[in-house]
Amino acid sequence: MIIGVPKEIKNHEYRVGLVPDIVYELVQAGHPVFVERDAGAAIGFTDEHYALAGAHIVDHARAIFDEAQLIVKVKEPQVEECARLKSHQTLFTYLHLAPDFEQTRALLASKAKCIAYETVSDDAGRLPLLAPMSEVAGRMAVQAAAHQLEKSQGGRGVLLGGVSGVPSAKLVIIGAGVVGTNALQMAVGLGAQVTILDTSLERLRYLDALYGNRIQTLYSSQANLQRAVLMADVVIGGVLIPGAKAPKLVSEQLVKEMKAGSVLVDVAIDQGGCFETSRPTTHSEPAYRMHDVIHYCVANMPGAVARTSTLALNHATAPFIHQLANLGIDHALQVNRHLMNGLNVYQGFVTCKAVAEAQGCEYVSPGQLLH
Q: Which positions are annotated as active-site residues?
A: 96, 270
E strand segments, 222-303: 234-237, 263-266, 287-290, 293-296
> Alpha carbon 168 to chain centroid distance?
29
* CA gap 160, 262 in Å, rounded: 12
Task: Taking each helix axis as running N to C, give the angle between helix 306-327 and helix 20-28, from 0 to 180 degrees, rounded to the nearest 10.
Answer: 10
Q: What is the largest CA-CA distance in the chain?
A: 68
Contact 309, 303 (CB under 8 A): yes
Taking phi first (over 0 means left), then psi (-120 to 50 degrees means alpha), and beta for anything else, what does residue 114 get? Answer: beta
Buried b (16+ CB within 10 A) or exposed e, 217-238: bbebeeeebbebbeebbbbbbb
